[in-house]
Amino acid sequence: MTGPEAPARPGREVRSRYTAADLGVFTRDEASRFIPRGDGDPRNDVMLAWELLYRLEPELYDRLASVERLHPGVVDWLPRHVDRIAEVGAGTGRLTMELAGRGRHVVAAEPALPLRRILRRKLAAGGHGDRVRVIHGFFDQLPLPADFADLVVACSAFTPSPGHGGEAGLVEMERVCRPGGCVAIIWPNHLGWLTARGYRHVSFPGPMFVEFGSHEEAVELAEIFYPKAAGEIRRHGWRKVPFEVLGINPPRDLAYKVLAQ
């Protein structure tokens, strides 16, 4: 449940917004990946808290994703005028809207139903509803044929964790990519893990900021997602906040592999 009828969440920081009582929101397939033992505590597992955020407060997540913009060099690096693109972990479309103009056919896979709904709404509003097909799919189980896409890409979603990609997810992304095509992981959080598996690294220079709609929004979202930086943002009256102040790496990196022909 989302919107004005949704129950108030205890606390403000994302890690303290949910409890074990919220785990029932997961489908059977989601539970098998995110709580394989059947239990978990989002207050002690931040990745689990984020999965609950996607399903319980998707509009809140979308507000954050909308202001954490990718480095323009990352987007420009991606191939243009390809036939087919497959995006995995599409979320609410941080990258999907950019991909819509780069391939004749784009498939965006996202496991969380509330995020898929927002993505479909955005695509329709942007006139991309016919070009991009939004589907349900996990990293390790994509409902796409082998050698399907010229570009298979994930943005701010893939990790070495089995529930969020891992070895099985990387193998599945490479299965869907045609020989000579490219698999790209944008904003990776474990570059060493990927380079050990044959991926190359590209990084784009320059200062980067999270540009909130207002100072009030900057404080509000920082208290939820960047609590250690909220005080400094409040003191400076910032609306445009350097990524370094937030304590996270800017979205300026990608790892990629061109598959052998």
Please report the pLDDT score of residue 10 as a whole number: 57
What is the rounded (10 degree) CA torsion for 111, 256, 79, 106? Answer: -10
Please report the pLDDT score of residue 242 as a whole number: 97
Taking only the tens place, the pLDDT of each residue in 13-63 is 999 999 999 999 999 999 999 999 999 999 999 999 999 999 999 999 999
Mean pLDDT to the nearest integer, 230-251? 96
**135 φψ region: left (φ > 0), alpha (ψ -120 to 50), beta (else):** beta
Residue whose token pair is 């496991």: 111
Taking only the tens place, the pLDDT of each residue in 164-174 is 999 999 999 99
Alpha carbon of 139 to those of 27, 88, 111, 155, 174: distances in Å? 16, 6, 9, 12, 11
The number of CA neighbours under 13 Å toward the Cβ of 252 is 13
- Alpha-helical (H) ranges within the chain are 28-34, 46-56, 58-67, 72-77, 96-99, 113-125, 166-176, 191-195, 215-225, 227-236, 243-246
Residue 210 neighbours by CB under 8 Å, 6+ apart = 67, 68, 69, 218, 240, 241, 243, 246
Please report the pLDDT score of residue 8 as a whole number: 55
Instruction: For residue 117, give both structure tokens.
Output: 């709904």
3-class state of residue 65 by DSSP: helix
Mean pLDDT to the nearest integer, 183-208? 96
CA–CA gap between residue 142 and residue 144 (Å, rounded): 5
In sign, the C-alpha dihedral spanning 30, 99, 102, 123 is positive
What is the radius of gyration, based on Cα positions, of the chain? Answer: 18
Taking only the tens place, the pLDDT of each residue in 210-233 is 999 999 999 999 999 999 999 999
Position 191: which residue type? L
DSSP code string of 112-150: -HHHHHHHHHHHHHTT-TTTEEEE--BTTB-SS-TT-EE
> Contact, 131 vs 106, CB < 8 A?
yes
On the question of pLDDT at 5 being above 50, the answer is no
Residue 11: how many other CB atoms lie within 10 Å: 12
> Contact, 168 vs 138, CB < 8 A?
no
On the question of pLDDT at 177 being above 70, the answer is yes
Please report the pLDDT score of residue 129 as a whole number: 83
CA–CA gap between residue 202 and residue 186 (Å, rounded): 10
On the question of pLDDT at 3 being above 60, the answer is no
Please report the pLDDT score of residue 86 as a whole number: 98
Mean pLDDT of the chain: 94
Please report the pLDDT score of residue 6 as a whole number: 52
Please report the pLDDT score of residue 222 as a whole number: 97
Please report the pLDDT score of residue 4 as a whole number: 41
Please report the pLDDT score of residue 101 as a whole number: 87
Taking only the tens place, the pLDDT of each residue in 98-157 is 999 899 999 999 999 999 999 999 999 999 988 899 999 999 999 999 999 999 999 999
On the question of pLDDT at 9 being above 70, the answer is no
Please report the pLDDT score of residue 130 as a whole number: 87
